[in-house]
Amino acid sequence: MQNNGKILVGILTAAAAGAALGMLFAPDKGDKVRRKIQDYANDLTDEVLKTLQKSKADLQNEFSKMKNKATDEVTNVEGIAKEKMNNLKTESKIAYNNIKEQVN
């Protein structure tokens, strides 16, 4: 995910620089060029924000899945531990009763 972010930033930066240079060398008036650059920058900003929002949603979704899985695992381990503890109690009671009978 980290490499994809770097690639996306690189592509967007290169596209912005290329568009800005293209507009600066175009035979338009200064106001028109500045307007085009501003519009392009606004569009680019919107795209970056959409991409970041989607990435954030994806990360939150993955985090939620991982959290649920961890919770399930903890619950499973708790169940196993309780079962083993109950088995040990039962075995201890049986052993105690056996020893008690042998002593009497």
Whole-prediction pTM: 0.52
Render pLDDT for 48-65 as a digit per residue (tens, 0 to 9).
Answer: 888 889 989 999 999 999
Does any domain span residue 98? no
Q: Give dist(CA 30, CA 33) in Å, integer.
A: 5
pLDDT for 28 beyond 70: no
Does any domain span residue 100? no
Does any domain span residue 99? no
Render pLDDT for 61-86 as a digit per residue (tens, 0 to 9).
Answer: 999 999 999 999 999 999 999 999 99
**Higher per-residue confidence, 63 vs 7:** 63
5 and 55 in contact (C-beta within 8 Å)? Answer: yes
| SS3 per-residue string spanning 28-77 | CCHHHHHHHHHHHHHHHHHHHHHHHHHHHHHHHHHHHHHHHHHHHHHHHH
Domain holding 35, by residue range, is 2-75
**Higher per-residue confidence, 20 vs 66:** 66
pLDDT at res. 2: 65
Q: Which residues contact 36 (CB under 8 A, 6 or more apart)?
A: 23, 28
pLDDT at res. 26: 67
- Indicate the number of domains in the chain: 1
69 and 59 in contact (C-beta within 8 Å)? Answer: no
pLDDT at res. 31: 78
Does any domain span residue 38? yes
Does any domain span residue 6? yes
